Amino acid sequence: MAVLGKADPPAYFIDYTVTETQRAEVMGSNGALLSSEERRTRWLEVQVRAGSYALDNTRKVGDRQSFFSPSPGSPVPIEDAPAVLRRAIWLETDRQYRAAAEALIKIKTGKEVKVETAEGQAPDFSREQAHTSYGPRVSFQLDRRPWEEKVRVYTRAFRDSPAILNSIVTFSALAQNQYQATSERTRLQFGQLRYRLELFIQGKAPDGMDISRYYNFDWTDPAGAPDNGTVLAQAQAMRKELEALVAAPLVEPYAGPAMLTGRAAAVFFHEVFGHRAEGHRQKDITEGQTFARKVGEQILPEFLSVSDDPTAKRVGSTVLLGYYPFDDEGVRSERVKLVDKGVLRGFLMSRSPLIGFPQSNGHGRRQIGFAPVSRQGNLIVESSRQVSNARLRQMLIEEIKRQSKPFGLLIDDIAGGFTFTGRGQPQAFQVLPLVVFKVYPDGRPDELVRGVDIVGTPLVSLTKILATGDTPEVFNGYCGAESGSVPVAAISPAILISEMEVQKKQTSTDKPPILPPPLHDPQAKARPESARGARQ
């Protein structure tokens, strides 16, 4: 800083971050081991900002992309070799300063010929309190052999079903330590330890539609791993669901009453509301800026409130993936009230200020190699109009009758989704349900159906929520956006919506395999082992 702060243009902020990752992964498929490995890496990221807090090299001028494209950084030795690390920092700092200086010159020129919106007049970087925190370093000692046998057992259990074309089970252990030092005197060291077991199976319907089921277990204490009985019971449930889905009828496009269970509702709020509450989207002229000027206005029914709390580690016994002590800009994480009784109160903020929101609230996040932007952590939906889930289902039937619809939909599980927030695209979202039932008002049993995606626009869809259940459920996953893939959680009770639209799901036209799986081929079973070996 002593040298670059006096250069032309001057650097006013430097951030050095080294992320140390220890990862072990065991993957199996159809009863056999695919891979088993453990690796350790360190990654250096250097951020140099030239100009001032008000105007720097990250400014986006008009509808152009930023002139400054942050480098993904560079690998550094996993050995504690200060001289080698200093050399890497020296080279990366020089490269980043040169890029920042060049970008700032172009930005200042571009400002002369580009109109700036009110939102774009906010400063480029916020002044924040410096933090000093040295947490314990995390690591794990893992014997992979027991997990190698487990993934064989778990995937072998799926071979009993002729409907399952492929199965993959992945166990992973991740220890990540972050070391950060900034020119503002922030000094941080903290680590997180996560374990995950993922079960995934695939099938194909007679009409060619690909069918899949997925489930994951997450824990942070080595003793918290699920036992074999729990995992195999879940595998059996997944198998039955996939077999039923392969045989289930297609449902046509529909608009009418729908009920989303808690996990499905959590994904719905993450996609429909959460991404549009991220602060940087209110500033960018290429974004739809759905809520930019709606602070103080009602955007949800008055019985709903929404917050984001990355300081929460658990809900009950369930681990929340969106927990972190400090964000990737060195700001302490904090709980943020986004919606209070239906009224929009604020946004998820990184160190990119907005008019009226000059400070970060600890939501600047990124995957290693990306520049941080405002992102969700643990999105929490709360309701003051709660009924039991059984009563909510009865209210769904009453709404179907009131609208004289032949049926309603019960969305029981969702794979994920995506949303368009840019102005050049429709302001729409698409959520990808996995398990959907038709609910009939005349008392007929629910009918499992397939082949639909939930679609809609946010401002309309959010106002059509009629009531919620009384049991919050958690969705843990990884969310991809401009700053890469980050771990998130969403927590919501079940919700009843007066009108939800579904469209036909994209599908394949390839027929299922011509021959049955070898384990379920009568001719293969009838052939002696010696003959089978000779033919191979």
DSSP notation for 2-56: TTGGGSSSPEEEEEEEEEEEEEEEEEEETTEEEEEEEEEEEEEEEEEEEB-SSSB
Q: Nearest to residue 448, comparing CAs of 239, 257, 249, 262?
A: 249
Q: Is the pLDDT of residue 362 over 50?
A: yes
Confidence category of residue 531, pLDDT binned at 50, 70, 90: very low
Domain of residue 148, CATH code: 3.30.2290.10
Shared-domain flag, residues 128 and 225: yes
Per-residue pLDDT, 506: 76
Whether residue 127 is contained in a domain is answered as yes
Q: Give the amino acid at 101.
A: A
Cis peptide leading into residue 9 (ω within 30°): yes
Shared-domain flag, residues 221 and 332: no
**Least confident residue range of 59-63, 280-284, 305-309, 331-335:** 59-63
Over residues 309-332, mean pLDDT: 96
d(CA 342, CA 502): 25
User: What is the domain count for the chain?
Assistant: 2
Shared-domain flag, residues 288 and 195: no
Per-residue pLDDT, 534: 42
Tokens at 414, concatenated = 């969702």
Top pLDDT among 493 and 72 is at: 493
Shared-domain flag, residues 161 and 48: yes
Over residues 389-404, mean pLDDT: 97
Over residues 102-107, mean pLDDT: 91
Q: Do 259 and 392 form a contact (C-beta atoms < 8 A)?
A: yes
The residue written with tokens 């209210």 in the block is 395
Over residues 347-370, mean pLDDT: 95
Whether residue 137 is contained in a domain is answered as yes
Over residues 380-409, mean pLDDT: 96
Q: Is the pLDDT of residue 63 over 80?
A: no
Backbone angles phi, psi at 248, to 5 degrees: -70, 150
Confidence category of residue 62, pLDDT binned at 50, 70, 90: low
Q: What percent of the chain has pLDDT over 70?
A: 91
Domain that holds residue 308: 254-504
Shared-domain flag, residues 89 and 196: yes
Per-residue pLDDT, 287: 63
Whether residue 516 is contained in a domain is answered as no
Shared-domain flag, residues 193 and 166: yes
For the purposes of burial, counting CB atoms within 10 Å of the CB of 306, is it exposed (0-12), middle (13-18) or buried (19 or more)?
A: buried
Q: Could you give the 3-state DSSP secondary structure of residue 512?
A: coil
Shared-domain flag, residues 242 and 278: no
Per-residue pLDDT, 517: 87
Whether residue 529 is contained in a domain is answered as no
pLDDT tens digits, 132-186: 999 999 999 999 999 999 999 999 999 999 999 999 999 999 999 999 999 999 9
- What is the per-residue DSSP string for 187-217? EEEEEEEEEEEEEEEEEE-TTS-EEEEEEEE
Whether residue 73 is contained in a domain is answered as yes
For the chain, what is the mean pLDDT?
90
Over residues 425-443, mean pLDDT: 81
Q: Would you say the pTM of this structure is higher than 0.85?
A: yes
Q: Is the pLDDT of residue 66 over 90?
A: no
Residue that is last in its domain, among 198, 214, 247: 247
Confidence category of residue 522, pLDDT binned at 50, 70, 90: confident
Per-residue pLDDT, 367: 94
Shared-domain flag, residues 242 and 291: no
Shared-domain flag, residues 38 and 85: yes
Q: Could you give the 3-state DSSP secondary structure of residue 415?
A: strand
Over residues 86-94, mean pLDDT: 95
Whether residue 527 is contained in a domain is answered as no
pLDDT tens digits, 10-59: 999 999 999 999 999 999 999 999 999 999 999 999 999 999 999 999 98
Confidence category of residue 533, pLDDT binned at 50, 70, 90: very low
Whether residue 517 is contained in a domain is answered as no
Shared-domain flag, residues 231 and 271: no
Per-residue pLDDT, 414: 76
Shared-domain flag, residues 173 and 276: no
Residue that is last in its domain, among 247, 277, 305: 247
Shared-domain flag, residues 269 and 237: no
Residue that is last in its domain, among 247, 277, 292: 247
Whether residue 42 is contained in a domain is answered as yes
pLDDT tens digits, 183-235: 999 999 999 999 999 999 999 999 899 999 999 999 999 999 999 999 999 99
145-156 vs 228-247: helix crossing angle, rounded to 10: 30
Per-residue pLDDT, 423: 55
Per-residue pLDDT, 261: 93
Confidence category of residue 535, pLDDT binned at 50, 70, 90: very low
pLDDT tens digits, 471-486: 999 999 999 888 899 9
